[in-house]
Structure 1
C-alpha cells in the first residue's frame, strides 16, 4: 500500500498495465495485471423536473430531506444515494422503510447513528460509529482498545491471524462509540458493533457477554476486556 502517491500515467503493454507513480520511496515504474479506477460517485438528480417543484437540491446534487425522508415538496420523498451520504444499499433499505411508515402517517424518523461500512478486500475492513480520526477532528477525547487476531484461536486455525478488532470508547462512561475490524469476515462481525453503538452499550456489556469459543466473534469480547486489562488471550494492563 502506497500512501501520498500520485498516479501520473497508465499505459497498456504486453506485460500488463504500466503505471508511472510519484511518491516518496515508491518505485516510479510498475506493472500490474489490472487497474481499478475509483474517483467517487455523484447523485443523478437531474432530468426529473425537480426544478419545477419545491424540492431543494444542494450544490453537490443531493436532495435535502427531513427525518422522515420527506422533501420540501410534502408529497415527494427521497431515499438512497440521492438523499445524501453514506451512499450504501443497506442505508437506503432502512430509509425506504422509514419513508413508507412516514407516508402512512406513522411517527417514523431516520435516526440511526451506526451505519456499517465494509470494504470487501482480502482481508475485509469494516467499521461503524465514531472513528479515531473523526474524534480527533472534533477535539473529542476517546479511549481506544484493540485485540490482535494473532491471539485468536479461531483466526489461527483459519490461518488468518493478521486481523485486528478495535473499539472506540468514551473515556468516562466507557460507552461504545465506534468499532473497526480488519480481518476475514469483518463484514459479518461488524453487526455486533452496530448493535453496541446503536443501543449505547458500554465496554462492560460486551466483556461480560459470553461469546462462543473458538470464534472470531470472541475478538469483540476480548477487545472490550482489554479496556479492563482482563483479556483472556492477550495481556494488556489497564491504563
Structure 2
C-alpha cells in the first residue's frame, strides 16, 4: 500500500487568527466539541484524528442537539475505520496491544474466512475477523477484520462496542448461515476456547 498522507491546512485557512486553543495543528475541543471560545464549536478534520467523514457527521449531529438544548457528550470508542482496499480492512475500538497499553488484561479470538461457508462459496477466503475482549468480564473492546466486502459489517462491529456487548452477547445471537458475519460469532467462541469450526 502506498499513501501520501494528509496534513492540516489550518494556517492557510486563517484559523490561528481566531486565537483558539490548539492541540498541535488541530483545534482543541472538549467532549462536547466546544473550543476555548464560548459559543464556538468545531467538528471534523479540523479537530484531529481520526479524519473520517462519518466521525464529522456524528460530531455535527451531536453539536446540533447541544445547541438545541439537549444533553449530549462525545463517545469516540466505537468509530469504525475502513480501508476500501481489496480485501477491505475494518477496525473498531482497541487492538490487543492498545487495550493492554490501557491497562486491560485481554483475551482474543480470531476466525479465518478460509473456514467460513459464505467466503468459500464466493471463492474469497482471504482474511479473518478478530475480537479483543477484557479477560475479567469479557466486554468486547475491539474488533478487527480483513476480507472481501467486510466494510458492510463495520456498523455491526461498532454497535457491539457502543452497547458494551460481552462475548456471550455475540455468542448468544443467532447469526444467519451462510454469511460472513458468522465469523464474528466464531471469533467470540475462539476467545473463550469454545471454537466450533476450527
CA contact (8 A) 2:93 2:143 kept: yes
Q: Which structure's relative contact order is higher, taking Cα pairs within 8 Å and 6+ residues apart?
A: 2
With structure 2 as the length reference, what TM-score do the two structures score?
0.92
Counterpart-to-counterpart distance in 2, 1:158 and 1:97: 38
Greater alpha carbon shift after TM alignment, 207-216 vs 221-230? 221-230
Partner of 1:188 in structure 2? 152
**Contact 2:104-2:134 within 8 A present in 1 as well:** no
Residue in 2 aligned with 1:70? 34
Kindly indicate whether the alpha-carbon contact (under 8 Å) linking 1:129 and 1:197 is maintained by their aligned counterparts in 2: yes
Structure 2 counterpart of 1:32: none
CA RMSD of aligned residues (A): 1.8
Of residues 84, 90, 103 in structure 1, which corresponds to 2:54? 90
Question: Does structure 2 retain, via aligned residues, the 8 Å contact 1:150–1:161?
Answer: yes
Q: Which runs of 5+ in 1 are unaligned?
A: 2-35, 235-239
Deviation string, structure 1 residues 48-97 (Cα, Å, up to 9, x no partner): 554443411233x1001122211111122110000121000000000000
SS class of match (1:172)? coil
1:209 aligns with 2:170: no
How many residues are treated as equivalent by the alignment?
198
Q: Match of 2:4? A: 39
Q: Which structure: greater helix fraction?
A: 2
The structure that has the greater radius of gyration is: 1
Unaligned runs of 5+ in 2: none
Q: How far, CA to CA, are the matches of 1:182 and 1:65 in structure 2? A: 33
